[in-house]
A and B are shown apart, each in its own frame.
Chain A
């Protein structure tokens, strides 16, 4: 995915195929010879980890679909059938369920890494927007997947989220009936969610291909946030990046396995082990943890339509980030003020996540409103102002200098693997 390759296989047979379908050359130029900045730290390994997560979800998902029954009478029991009777069914389901959370942990780290190092800036706008699209598709997929076990949280989560669309003036109620295929969340809803939950991951995979294509076209950003200027600034993807990605991925798997094998239900809700009951709402419903910040924004606005708009806007604003932050310096390393505001923003998002899980009452509501306001102020006020008023510190002349100039062993010594 990075231009024509001068790759030439040794065997005559492969040369023959290569002249007709240059797939080996494509692989070679994309994943072997592809030049990566030599100063990438471990925060850059999450791209590979995310591909791994997507692969795990697709493979375990296909397998689970072989045993799952998308009917309102059979869904809950079929999940229990998987847990009890299917060979290794418990393992496959726990990997899939926890895999969703792992996917979001990795994607949030990936996104915040992009924030910090200015990875959305020119010329990576399209790369960034494709990432936002992937994030949206992930949210849709995760939401529909959570409905499938047909527990109490599945049912009421589906009810609440689909009802968001009833806020659309005029046609809202019709849109909701359209989404449900009826007058409440029921069999048609479950069955279409199952169909779409199966489809969307493949759409994600498609957009991921575009994302990587765009990445390989413009090249990776790096912790110094400066462009690659010479061959001294880069190393070959294989073996350098592959070896590093591999180590990071195994560490990530340890974290993943910890949840799957020892606390597989920690990230889920106990209420979802109660079969769906359309006549009784659980006393306190909350979405999965990865939706909590957005859920807090939804509830912070004292108007139905306003809340829905704010929630969608809080995601949509990400797509406009390249034009809200116009500063020429990319990396927060050389933007002292931006760096501080970055951390405040991180705390703001954590705060919203915490508030999303709290009941919508009293001080929690006030706090949600303050943080929601700050969330948007960060994008619409702070970032544009910083672009004009912040005085960046001097950036190094080249990547090679930033790495080798004063710290001879920098890339290997970067801390912070997880």
Chain B
């Protein structure tokens, strides 16, 4: 009979293919796997921790922002539901601290003005060439969707289990690992002065200097001022930047699931009743 066996086989088939296609992204099969961390936003009831996002945003502003832009994120979104919980006034003040290029004005010239909530985080460099020129040829990437643009390979059967336990935090795991993964190169490995050794970076040679160090950013809520904590917080913030509607998605998802399960139950008994008369 083409019943359970088929189901399992086809399920495995599709699952293996999915996992394999994702798996293909890890460039270096010898790199260690990033450790999986506990994230408040993982799982069916996951949601962002406002305090953590605010701390992460502070780290972004005081460290990452020197080189990395966030150009798809608008200031106004910092205050929307499931975000950092900033008030309208706070967002206005914050936006005003950035200079936005606007124009042309009546004389046909572009000009600088303070940001408004409807503006987006401005680019750090005028263009890609300018960015590379100041970074020895390396390009500091935009961080707007970075948390979804990175991942690592999960072998068999882990990637199947991830479907069931809804684990989709590979991107943030990797980012945290990268930020904390700097170390001295193994004996015999030569680095140029603009390269650094990172055990999680594909190929290990990374052009970004270790960005974090203990006590570099001041926390006012008593959280530990360590590289590990900074990395967790800024990564959580970047996850929010990449997926600002995650809270809403999971909340609606739960409602949809409850609805569908009840509906499936009703549909099942309806089907049974209908077919009862066929025998």
Contacts and interface: CB of A to CB of B under 8 A. Distances in A.
Contacts, number: 191
B275 A105 contact: no
B21 A286 contact: yes
The SS class assigned to the B binding surface is helix
A84 B72 CA distance: 9
A144 to B, nearest CB: 18
B92 interface: no
B223 interface: no
B9 A346 contact: yes
Contact of A263 (B144, B163, B245): B163
Interface string B205-236: 00000000000000000000000000000000
Contact of A113 (B2, B168, B171, B276): B2
A11 interface: no
A235 B278 contact: yes
A412 interface: yes
B150 to A, nearest CB: 6
B260 A253 contact: yes
A301 B242 CA distance: 40
A358 B20 contact: yes
A264 interface: yes
A274 interface: yes
Interface in A98-123: 101, 105, 108-109, 112-113, 116-117
Given A250-B267, A263-B166, A353-B16, A411 B260 contact: no
Contact of B1 (A109, A250, A333): A333
Contact of A84 (B77, B264, B278): B77
Interface of B: 1-7, 9-10, 12-14, 16-18, 20-25, 27, 44, 72, 74, 77, 144-146, 148-151, 162-163, 166-168, 170-171, 202, 242, 244-245, 248-250, 252-254, 256-257, 260-261, 263-264, 267-268, 270-272, 274-276, 278-279
A16 interface: no
Contact of A346 (B13, B44, B72, B254): B13
Contacts of B3: 41, 414-416
Given A263-B168, A283-B202, 17 more contacts: A84-B244, A101-B18, A108-B10, A116-B6, A247-B267, A250-B264, A254-B261, A258-B257, A260-B253, A261-B253, A289-B14, A343-B5, A346-B6, A350-B12, A356-B20, A409-B279, A412-B275
B146 to A, nearest CB: 8
Interface string A346-360: 110110011011110
Interface of A: 38, 41, 43, 77, 80, 83-84, 90-91, 94, 101, 105, 108-109, 112-113, 116-117, 223, 235, 239-240, 243-244, 246-247, 250-251, 253-254, 257-258, 260-267, 269-271, 273-274, 282-290, 292-293, 332-333, 343, 346-347, 349-350, 353-354, 356-359, 404, 408-409, 411-412, 414-416, 418
Residue of B13, B77, B168 contacting most chain A CB atoms (<10 Å): B13
A264 B245 CA distance: 12
Contact of A250 (B18, B77, B260): B260
B145 A80 contact: yes
Contacts of A273: 145-146, 148-149, 242
A254 B21 CA distance: 23
B2 A357 contact: no
B279 A357 contact: no
Residue of B6, B12, B163 contacting most chain A CB atoms (<10 Å): B6
Contacts of A288: 21
A220 to B, nearest CB: 16
A80 B166 contact: no
Contact of B275 (A251, A271, A411): A411
Contacts of B202: 283
A274 B148 CA distance: 9
Contact of B264 (A83, A90, A247): A247
